[in-house]
Amino acid sequence: MDYHKDITKVSKSGLDLINKSPLHYWNRYLNPKSVEKKTTALTVGGAFHCRILEPGEWGKRYAIAPSADRRTKDGKEIWTRFQENHKDYEIITRDEDYMIERMTDSIWAHNQASLILKKLTITEQVFTHDDLKCKPDGITSLNIVIDLKTTDDASPYAFGRSAAKYRYDVQAALYTDVLEANGHTVEGFVFIAVEKNPPYAVAVYVIEDEDIARGREKYLENLKTWRECKATNKWPGYTMGKLMLPNYGK
């Protein structure tokens, strides 16, 4: 079964929706009228991951759109032929392909990032345990789990804010627990971040054990909620509460 369509188990992204509200999870995974829309960012991110982790598969899964003005007769014909020949491909533009190439070059030119990636022994493999599932980007021969992240700003402070916003601590905890339940020893969890704009700077960050422990508390609470909603088939949205205004002075 397709990893994303298997609703018998829940992933980190599913728990992120539960954390927002169970209704958001229901709409994404259970609503029969929901239409899945893959964003450009997801397509480009997938293409970048494929270029780094599964380069031999890239040409089988992705195609670069031709330069054709579809407002003209010739352009329409070029585009129609391209679509007919690439029905099962995901399409990216030439500009997006250029960006992916530059990010890939930066990754392999970075001493620490390239060294880690050269030690990968497992990539893009699905693991499950109990009600959980995960698909790590890679695991090295030294039992280090790695995750590639594209970002607007890979500097320590900015990426730290992204890590908090997108709950990378939850990801590290969930992946670690599922992998260890499958017999893997996890010696560390590393994020390789690359910027999407020039100079396509790269940074490597190790998440600390105490942050993983906090992430574990978060995902276990979300998992409890998911199980309760699944058992009752009730997926509530937001509840009445105190308005939380940002502290603009800090």
Cβ 127 vs Cβ 74: under 8 Å: no
Look up residue 2 and give its two tokens. Answer: 């397709």
Cβ 97 vs Cβ 64: under 8 Å: yes
How many CA atoms lie within 13 Å of 143's alpha carbon, on the beta-carbon side? Answer: 9
Note the pLDDT of residue 49. Answer: 96
Cβ 212 vs Cβ 169: under 8 Å: yes
Look up residue 148 and give its two tokens. Answer: 């590639």
Query: Are 47 and 97 part of one and the same domain?
Result: yes
- Is 250 a member of any domain? no
Task: Please give the Cα distance from 122 to 147 (Å, whole number).
Answer: 12
Query: Are 15 and 52 part of one and the same domain?
Result: no
Cβ 107 vs Cβ 117: under 8 Å: yes
Residue-wise pLDDT for 176-195, tens only, equals 999 999 999 999 999 999 99
Cβ 176 vs Cβ 219: under 8 Å: no
Query: Are 215 and 116 part of one and the same domain?
Result: yes
Note the pLDDT of residue 1. Answer: 59
* Number of CB atoms found within 10 A of residue 114's CB: 15
Query: Are 187 and 96 part of one and the same domain?
Result: no
- Is 249 a member of any domain? no
Look up residue 32 and give its two tokens. Answer: 């029969």
Tell me which residues of the chain have a pLDDT lower than 70: 1, 248-250
Note the pLDDT of residue 247. Answer: 76
| Domain encompassing residue 98 | 38-109
Query: Are 120 and 151 part of one and the same domain?
Result: yes
The count of structural domains within the chain is 2
Query: Are 131 and 170 part of one and the same domain?
Result: yes
How many CA atoms lie within 13 Å of 63's alpha carbon, on the beta-carbon side? Answer: 15
Domain boundary among 59, 85, 109: 109
Note the pLDDT of residue 39. Answer: 81
Note the pLDDT of residue 232. Answer: 97
Domain boundary among 73, 92, 109: 109
Note the pLDDT of residue 115. Answer: 97
Query: Are 46 and 89 part of one and the same domain?
Result: yes
3-state helix, strand, coil in the chain (%, to 5): 50, 15, 35
Note the pLDDT of residue 250. Answer: 55
Query: Are 177 and 73 part of one and the same domain?
Result: no
Query: Are 26 and 135 part of one and the same domain?
Result: yes
Query: Are 91 and 199 part of one and the same domain?
Result: no
Query: Are 216 and 139 part of one and the same domain?
Result: yes
Residues whose CB falls within 8 Å of the CB of residue 189, separated by 6 or more in sequence, listed in order: 144, 145, 146, 147, 172, 175, 176, 206, 207, 212
How many CA atoms lie within 13 Å of 128's alpha carbon, on the beta-carbon side? Answer: 10
pTM of the model: 0.92
Domain boundary among 60, 91, 109: 109
Note the pLDDT of residue 248. Answer: 67
Query: Are 95 and 114 part of one and the same domain?
Result: no
CATH of the domain at 227: 3.90.320.10
